[in-house]
């Protein structure tokens, strides 16, 4: 699972990325601080099943606090995009190729309006951040269009000469962008099967459809901590009622996580509160009070963990499934409920067996729903937070 963090320069992409992964990356208030992409592991938060079995898990990857399990997902933070990037403005859009394999994108915008279209600092609330949604989506469409157009004429000829199923050929051609046969088939329904008749406008519409299907995106309205910014959150929500928009203060999440790491306070990522456990300096106390009053009490969270969870479980519709065994939750390394896998909704017991190991898939005999203590077959549909044991013949 790979999630890309995109947006114009200086909106807080790297701050969001650092808050999610705790990787030490460069953050600064001038455009193009990030040029080379940063990649690191962040986490989605799920209700750990260990509580239901009255045990304490010891994850191989990620961690578990108070029966909240943090399951790894990979994040990539790239350079900022400016309007006209596809024509080479700013740093251009060549770096977008690093996002080819992303399952979904998080579009970070500076909802406080303190960064202009080129990513330069301006007075808070002096720039209208609503403009950013359209321009960024257009740049992403142009990125897809550029990829589609590469070798398009030759591709159209081959499809015609060899009489290929167009949706299969398209997904084959664009599999690098995670365009599956299903996605191509759904989109191609609205387009002529004869690719030779497609106009430039149709190609652009096609690029847009492919992009929205293969890289679903949510909007993170960052810097919501700046006074007056919440007004823009409401304006954004009413302009884009069908988009998922998460108010966020990446800097607050980072502050809380760093304070937790230094043992000044206890904070579980995504929670609506924290508990101070050490005496603080007056400035630190003031800063935390600000976060509590203006972010946690107002939005219920800082937005970072919320955004990752919504991407994986709502936008991508994934479920979390634990491998386990009837009466034996400990693996050969002594780890309890060592793993938790993220799978697309609609995955079957057999898909899960293959995810564990090809041998389990090939030699599948049956699976056991460990919570219900019943055997299930290959085609059994898995649910979020299932615990499944696979029985294989070898
Ligand atoms: N008030 C506030 N400032 C933030 C927040 N997130 C980031 N910033 C500030 O915004 C500036 C830019 O942050 P970065 O994370 O470097 O932004 P970026 O989008 O990665 O920028 P580029 O790499 O240049 O594209 C820095 O001064 C951050 O401290 C936030 O949640 N609230
Ligand atoms: Mg950056």
Domain of 167, CATH number, reads: 1.10.8.470
Specify the CATH number for the domain of residue 354: 3.10.20.30
Q: Is residue 175 part of a domain?
A: yes
- pLDDT higher than threshold 90 for residue 156: no
Same domain, yes or no: 126 and 27: yes
Q: Is the pLDDT of residue 32 over 80?
A: yes
Torsion of CA 109, 114, 117, 119, to 10 degrees: -90
Domain boundary among 166, 190, 213: 213
Residues 59 and 154 in one domain: no
User: Can you give the pLDDT at residue 288?
Assistant: 97
Q: Which three-class secondary structure state does DSSP give residue 40?
A: strand
Say if 387 falls within a structural domain: yes
Phi, psi for residue 190 in degrees, rounded to 5: -95, 10
Q: Same domain for 43 and 72?
A: yes
Give one word for 268, left, alpha or beta, with left for phi > 0 and alpha for psi -120 to 50: beta
At 22 the pLDDT is 97
Task: Ligand 1, residue 8: give the atom nearest the CA.
Answer: 25
Angle at the Cα of 221 from the Cα atoms of 218 and 222, rounded to 5 degrees: 125
Q: Are 347 and 382 in contact (CB under 8 A)?
A: yes
Does position 172 have pLDDT exceeding 80, yes or no?
A: yes
Q: In the predicted model, what is the mean pLDDT of the chain?
A: 95
Tell me the pLDDT band of 205, cut-offs 50, 70 and 90.
very high
- Pocket-testing residue among 6, 9, 25, 27, ligand 1, by greatest number of atoms within 8 A of Cβ: 27
User: pLDDT digits over 70-111, tens only?
Assistant: 999 999 999 999 999 999 999 888 889 899 999 999 999 999
For the chain, what is the domain count?
A: 3
The verdict on residue 241 lying in a domain is yes
Q: Is the same domain home to 226 and 294?
A: yes
Ligand 1 pocket (Cβ < 6 Å) reads 7, 9-15, 27-29, 31-34, 79-80, 119, 222-223, 225-226, 249-251
Report the pLDDT value the prediction gives residue 165, as an integer from 0 to 100: 83
Q: Is the pLDDT of residue 121 over 90?
A: yes
Between helix 13-21 and helix 250-261 the angle, nearest 10°, is 30
Mean local confidence (pLDDT), 143-154: 88
Q: Ligand 1: which of 4, 6, 7, 10 to mutate, most ligand atoms within 8 Å of CB?
A: 10
Pinpoint the alpha helices (H) of 240-303: 250-261, 282-291, 297-299
Establish if 247 belongs to a structural domain: yes
pLDDT at 293: 97
Quick check: is 184 in a domain?
yes
Label the pairing between strands 2-6 and 68-77.
parallel
The C-alpha atoms of residue 11 and residue 34 are separated, in whole angstroms, by 12
Whether residue 294 sits in one domain with residue 273: yes
8 Å CB contact between 168 and 181: yes
* Domain around 362: 318-392
Query: Residue 381: phi, psi to the nearest 5?
Result: -80, 130
- Name the helix (H) or strand (E) containing 56: none
List alpha helices for the chain, DSSP H. 13-21, 131-149, 152-162, 166-173, 181-188, 200-214, 229-239, 250-261, 282-291, 297-299, 304-309, 349-356, 358-362
């Amino acid at each position: 699972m790979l999630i890309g963090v995109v947006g114009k320069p200086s909106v807080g992409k790297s701050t969001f990325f650092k808050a999610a992964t705790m990787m030490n990356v460069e953050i600064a208030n001038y455009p193009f601080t990030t040029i080379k992409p940063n990649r690191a592991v962040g986490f989605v938060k799920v209700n750990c099943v260990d509580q239901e079995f009255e045990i304490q898990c010891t994850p191989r990857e990620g961690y578990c606090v108070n029966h909240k399990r943090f399951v790894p997902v990979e994040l990539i933070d790239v350079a900022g995009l400016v309007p006209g990037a596809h024509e080479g403005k700013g740093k251009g859009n060549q770096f977008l190729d690093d996002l080819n394999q992303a399952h979904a994108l998080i579009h970070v915008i500076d909802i406080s309006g303190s960064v202009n279209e080129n990513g330069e600092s301006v007075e808070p609330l002096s720039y209208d951040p609503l403009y950013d949604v359209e321009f960024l989506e257009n740049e992403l469409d142009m990125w897809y269009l550029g990829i589609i157009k590469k070798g398009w004429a030759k591709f159209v000829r081959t499809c015609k000469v060899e009489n290929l199923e167009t949706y299969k050929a398209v997904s084959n051609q664009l599999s690098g962008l995670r365009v599956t046969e299903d996605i191509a088939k759904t989109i191609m329904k609205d387009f002529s099967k004869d690719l030779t008749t497609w106009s430039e406008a149709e190609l652009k519409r096609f690029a847009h459809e492919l992009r929205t299907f293969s890289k679903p995106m949510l909007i993170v309205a960052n810097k919501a901590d700046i006074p007056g910014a919440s007004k823009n959150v409401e304006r954004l929500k009413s302009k884009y009622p069908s988009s998922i928009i998460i108010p966020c203060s990446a800097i607050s999440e980072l502050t809380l996580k760093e304070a937790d790491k230094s043992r000044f306070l206890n904070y579980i990522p995504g929670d609506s509160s924290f508990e101070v456990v050490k005496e603080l300096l007056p400035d630190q106390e003031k800063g935390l009070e600000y976060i509590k009053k203006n972010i946690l009490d107002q939005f219920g969270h800082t937005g970072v963990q919320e955004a990752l969870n919504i991407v994986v479980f709502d936008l991508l519709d994934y479920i979390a499934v634990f491998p386990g065994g009837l009466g034996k939750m400990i693996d050969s390394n002594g780890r309890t409920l060592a793993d938790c896998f993220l799978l697309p909704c609609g995955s079957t017991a057999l898909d899960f067996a293959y995810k564990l190991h090809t041998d389990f898939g090939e030699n599948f005999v049956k699976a056991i729903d460990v919570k219900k203590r019943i055997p299930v077959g290959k085609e059994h549909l898995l649910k979020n937070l299932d615990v499944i044991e696979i029985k294989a013949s070898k």
